[in-house]
Amino acid sequence: MGIQRPRIAAPREVNRRSGHFVRSFPFFAIALTSAVLLLTFLTMPGEEYPGDAQAPRVQAIAFLNTGQWSVPREIAEISGERGHFFFQNTDGRWYPKYGALNTALYLAPLWLEKTVIGHLDLRSPDRVFFLNLLNVIFSGATALYLTLLARRQTASRFLIVVFVFAALFSTFWWNYLRGQTFEIFHAFFLLAFFHHFVTALDQPAKTRLHFLLAAIFLGALFLSKSVYVILLPAIGAILLWQYRSKKLAPRALAWFSAPIALSLCLIAFANWARFGSPFTTGYTQAAMERQLFTLRSFGPALYGFLFQSRYSVFIHFTLLVPALFGWPRFFRKHRRDAIVVLAISVTLLVTNSLFTNWRGEACYGPRYLLPILPLLSLPFLEFGNWLSELRRPKTKAVLICATALLLGYATVLQACVSIMPFFFCYDLKSCLVDPRHSAAATYLRAHNFGSIDRDFLLHRERFDHEFTNQLSENEAARFNDLRSKLRSNFRWFPRRLKGVSVLPPAPARNRAHNRLEGAAQLND
């Protein structure tokens, strides 16, 4: 009787299992994408996100109603200072200062609104629903590309599900999946470009197709916001490196270069048609934007993106914390992907740190950095792979629990933000007589939106102590008026929000009022 040797699976069996994963993966991806679509549909907001994105929608409405691309003068002139939202060219016509593709993206939902409702005007109560449908579609497409990217790193479907849902719903990305603004477009275009770009570098047989798709999505990113053209030198350097290593053929590069050249020509033509010159952007007319970049902002911006509670990427995109531990392994196993991620991320981090308005206000979190944060969090999957292979049960259990608690708490914070109106924290600030030096202002300045919304909804005593009890009688009356109108920011569940007590005790109001008077005297 011979010694029994351990049975080793034959290559045919391994291939059979691998083939089963490949064949069944499309169904898994569709199911995961459908779950994200359902969740974003059920939690779609009940209000329209104010700010920049309204300008291209005004242009789209004007075009669908009149056939003219320019914005009516009477609307542009009451929308803030000249150049703030709309650029006035030498012909006296007004156009949104933002990328031309943004207007094109809003044509479909606004046309659908006009078809269903029968008319299209600037202040339609039904508009939010049709804009939400566009966001739901982009959310599903984003989830699909996240799933495809996760598949490159791990075969664990459980880990893919955790990564996709954590990236979308435990970070401030959820706010921009719901908000009808540009960030959802930028994040999707960059994510789709990255997937096709690295796939083209990996699969010589499909290089042309994936380079073509990568170039289309990158061109769309340029047309949505022209500052992303700054990525071209970094991407060009990577392609040159691959070409010199004889891993790319000249014909393959043509499939990438031609659509990029076309997108740059379209940007130049759009600038010429709207602003009077191919090299003029819409960011040159407003007084506050005469100096878009300055070296003085680099240090404060870098510090803010890393450590400030209102702008830290680690607070607003918590998935980056466990992802940090996966970076060494990610760099060893997927070096080319890691180099592309770092090249893109460093370029955009430096560029945005040089912005005069690097905070991107008014907004929630570091919105200018949102497109690169999902890419920087990809090593979370390698962290998960390492955890699954860990042979120390106690250490493994502790790390899994810590990660689950971190992501769970982050999800609670983002749920609180989703429940409240988009600009609730700015509304709180508008209640203050002294929005800079009062104790209530200090509380708002020291906390991010998630923490403030959490305190309002879940920790009444803390919010009372830090904010409500610090208000003067006049400020408390404003807060009372604000609170009486609060409804949850869900289209399907518009419940009234009670939050904390309306008015603080009289002694506390008097103390706060006295402090405000003392501060005013010092300022005088």
Q: HEC string of 112-165?
A: HHHHHHCCCCCCCCCHHHHHHHHHHHHHHHHHHHHHHHHHHHCCCHHHHHHHHH
- pTM comes to 0.90
Report the alpha-carbon distance of residue 500 to residue 455 in Å, rounded: 9
The answer, yes or no, to whether residue 321 has pLDDT greater than 50, is yes
Question: Which pLDDT score, from 0 to 100, does residue 19 have?
Answer: 52
Q: What whole-number distance in Å separates Cα of residue 281 and Cα of residue 97?
A: 7
Average pLDDT over residues 195-207: 89
Contacts of the segment 188-191: beta carbons below 8 A, 24+ positions apart = 188/138, 188/141, 188/142, 188/145, 189/217, 189/218, 189/220, 189/221, 189/224, 189/371, 190/217, 190/221, 190/228, 190/344, 190/371, 190/372, 190/375, 191/142, 191/145, 191/146, 191/149, 191/371, 191/374, 191/375
Contact 237, 343 (CB under 8 A): yes
Burial degree of 158 (CB within 10 A; 0-12, 13-18, 19+): exposed
Is 507 a residue whose pLDDT tops 60?
no
Average pLDDT over residues 281-291: 79
Q: How far apart are CA 171 and CA 319, in angstroms?
A: 7
Question: Residue 60 has which token pair?
Answer: 């789209």
Instruction: Please report which confidence band the pLDDT of residue 496 belongs to, taking 50, 70 and 90 as the band edges.
Output: confident
Cα 24 from Cα 355, distance rounded (Å): 46
CB 95 within 8 A of CB 86: yes
- What letter represents residue 380's amino acid? F
% of residues, the chain, pLDDT over 70: 90
Percent of the chain predicted with pLDDT > 90: 75
Tokens, residue 338: 């890691």
Q: What is the per-residue pLDDT for 125?
A: 86
Q: Which two tokens stand for residue 445?
A: 């300045």
Which band of pLDDT confidence, cut at 50, 70 and 90, is reported for residue 514?
Answer: very low
Instruction: Residue 100: name the closest of 270, 279, 277, 284 by CA.
Output: 270
Q: Look at residue 499 in the predicted model and tell me its pLDDT.
A: 53
pLDDT of 508 strictly over 60 = no
- The answer to whether 524 touches 79, Cβ cutoff 8 Å, is no
First CA to last CA across the chain, in angstroms?
101
Task: Give the C-alpha separation, 429 to 436, whole Å.
Answer: 9
Is the pLDDT at 523 greater than 70? The verdict is no
pLDDT value for 250: 81
| Interior angle at CA 204, CA 202 and CA 206, nearest 5 | 95
Q: What is the pLDDT of residues 65-114, one digit of tens each?
A: 999 999 999 999 888 888 889 999 989 999 999 999 999 999 999 999 99
Which range of 6-20, 298-312, 483-497 scores highest in mean pLDDT? It is 298-312
- pLDDT in the model for residue 146: 98
Instruction: Please give the Cα distance from 150 to 156 (Å, whole number).
Output: 9
Q: State the residue for tokens 């450590």.
A: 307
Span 145-173, mean pLDDT?
96
Q: How many residues does the chain have?
A: 524
For 355-379, give one letter per residue: b (16+ CB within 10 A) or e: beebbbeebbbbbbbbbbbbbbbbb
Dist CA 73 CA 128 (whole Å): 25
Give residue 506's pLDDT band: very low, low, confident or very high (50, 70, 90). Answer: very low
- Looking at residue 4, its pLDDT comes to 43
Place of tokens 């405000």: 516
- DSSP assignment of 335-399 equals HHHHHHHHHHHHHHHHHHHTBTTTT-SSSSS-GGGGGGHHHHTTTHHHHHHHHHH---HHHHHHH
Rounded to an integer, what distance in angstroms lies between the CA atom of residue 417 and that of residue 350?
A: 28
pLDDT score, position 204: 78
pLDDT band at 434 (very low <50, low <70, confident <90, very high): confident
Per-residue model confidence (pLDDT) at position 156: 94
